[in-house]
């Protein structure tokens, strides 16, 4: 587990650990924005050569493709919001601190889910 320091009575992850996390989050946001753009381009409703007079099967395929594009784009937008929140927590000096119990979130959890805002214990209690 990472070294914890106590600054003004508050637990805080060391800067040397936060810098690569911040870079990772920023790079992931850029990647996700590109993915979202590509998904929107692939949306059957956005294709310029789209034919409005389709057979029933083609119309169903278009509808499903559009629905799938919307779901993927929404998921990516939500992930971007979560990663931006994590960047804000880094800036505020609250990254890695559980929003419920104010204890440090295990660094193994943060390595897997860098946008985590709650420790495993509090997350499980919330889900119950």
Report helix angle 56-92 to 15-42, nearest 10: 160
pLDDT at residue 49, rounded to an integer: 65
State the burial class of residue 59 (Cβ atoms within 10 Å of its Cβ: 0-12, 13-18, 19+). middle
Q: Per-residue pLDDT tens for 9-23? A: 456 778 888 999 999
Asked whether residue 20 is domain-assigned, the answer is yes
Ordered alpha helix ranges (H), the chain: 15-42, 56-92, 107-112, 120-127
Asked whether residue 110 is domain-assigned, the answer is no
* pLDDT at residue 93 greater than cutoff 60: yes
For the record, the structure tokens of 7 come out as 């600054």
Asked whether residue 109 is domain-assigned, the answer is no
Domains identified in the chain, total number = 1
8: left (phi over 0), alpha (psi -120 to 50) or beta: left
Q: Per-residue pLDDT tens for 35-79? A: 999 999 888 887 766 666 767 777 788 889 899 999 999 999 999
Comparing 80 with 14, the larger pLDDT belongs to 80
The residue range of the domain holding 20 is 11-95
Dihedral of alpha carbons 16, 90, 96, 104, sign: positive
Asked whether residue 104 is domain-assigned, the answer is no
């Amino acid at each position: 587990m990472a070294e914890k320091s106590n600054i003004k009575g508050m637990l805080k992850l060391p800067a040397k650990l936060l810098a690569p996390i911040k870079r990772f989050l920023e790079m992931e946001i850029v990647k996700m924005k590109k993915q979202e753009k590509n998904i929107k381009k692939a949306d059957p409703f956005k294709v310029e050569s789209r034919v409005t007079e389709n057979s029933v099967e083609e119309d169903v395929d278009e509808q499903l493709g559009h629905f799938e594009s919307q779901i993927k784009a929404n998921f990516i937008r939500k992930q971007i919001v979560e990663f931006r929140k994590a960047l804000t927590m880094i800036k505020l000096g609250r990254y890695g601190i559980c929003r419920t119990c104010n204890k440090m979130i295990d660094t193994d959890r943060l390595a897997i889910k860098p946008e985590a805002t709650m420790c495993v214990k509090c997350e499980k209690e919330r889900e119950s």
